[in-house]
Every structure is written in C-alpha cells, then in structure tokens.
Amino acid sequence: MQKLAKMAILSVVVVLAGCAAMMRTPPLPGDTLEVVRAKFGEPTAIHPLPSGQVLEYATGPFGQFTWMARMGPDGRLATFEQVLGDAGFGRIKIDQATKADVTVTVGRPAERSYLGLSDLEVWSYRYQESGVWNSMMHVHFDRAGIVRKMISGPDPMYEEKRGFFRD
C-alpha cells in the first residue's frame, strides 16, 4: 500500500511539473536570448553550435517533454519546439547521427543503459507517441557513439503490473 501511495504522489508531481512548464509563455521567433530566458526560465542545458546555440528545457527524467530554443548567430530565436515526438525523433539518422547530434536534437535522455550481448549503449526518452500513448524511444549507440537503431515501445512506468505477486 505504501508503494502505491508513493507512485500516486510521484504521478501528481510529474503532472504538475508538466502543467507548470506548459503554462509558461512560449518565446517567439526573433526574441533575444534575454527575452527567451525571461519567458521560459533558465535552460536545463546549453549546447553551443557553430551557427549559434541551442537552449534545452527538459522536464525529465519523468517528464515527457523537452523544448529546444534554437538561437541564431545574431542571438535571436530561430525556432522553439517540443522535440520529444515523431518529428524530433525523425531527425535522428540511423548509421549517421552521433551522441552529440542526438543531444542537440532531442536533449538529454531520461535513462541510460547498456546491452552487454549486443555491446550497445541505450539512451531512453519518455514521450507521448502520437500525443496519446505513454511511450519510450530507445536510441542504441555502438562503441564509436554512432546511432545503430531506434526502438519505440510502451513506457514501463505507466504499464499495469500483472503477475502472481502484486503490490
């Protein structure tokens, strides 16, 4: 029973954090860095690029949203989007993208793991597939840090526990 209460509290915290993030006023293309920060707060990470920088606003490890503010070389906002979804994951090219590319595209993962038999590092991202299903995208990297495959499936955090021993 105690475990159920902890999961209920965790669920409420995750929902409230996601709602608070969505209630912020989104920045608009052309806004300066100062305006972006005033509207959306301090980023969880900053990724410098030759053509500017990307400000990451992640809600993880339990959140399903990450917003990326792409700043141009002139210091003004070029694009601002929620990247954990079909469009964001679709930009990751298998057999080409590196860990750095993935980080700049969809941000930091919710979880990291290693598959010993296949010798692959896995970065997992929580998201809502098609805006509805609680899912996880698993991005697999080889030892050189190149994406070798991507697999989407249900997020185990939201799966109903079935079996002989239940809490």
HEC string of the chain equals: CHHHHHHHHHHHHHHHHHHHHHCCCCCCCCCEHHHHHHHHCCCCEEEEECCEEEEEEECCCCCCCEEEEEECCCCEEEEEEECCCHHHHHCCCCCCCEHHHHHHHHCCCCEEEEECCCCEEEEEEEEEECCCEEEEEEEEECCCCEEEEEEEEECHHHCCCCCCCCC
pLDDT of residue 5: 44
pLDDT of residue 165: 63
**24 — pLDDT class (breaks 50, 70, 90):** confident
pLDDT at 23 over 70: no
Share of the chain above pLDDT 70, in %: 83
pLDDT at 14 over 90: no
Average pLDDT over residues 136-163: 92
All structural domains of the chain, each given as residue ranges with its CATH number in brackets, are: 1-82 (3.30.1450), 87-157 (3.30.1450.10)
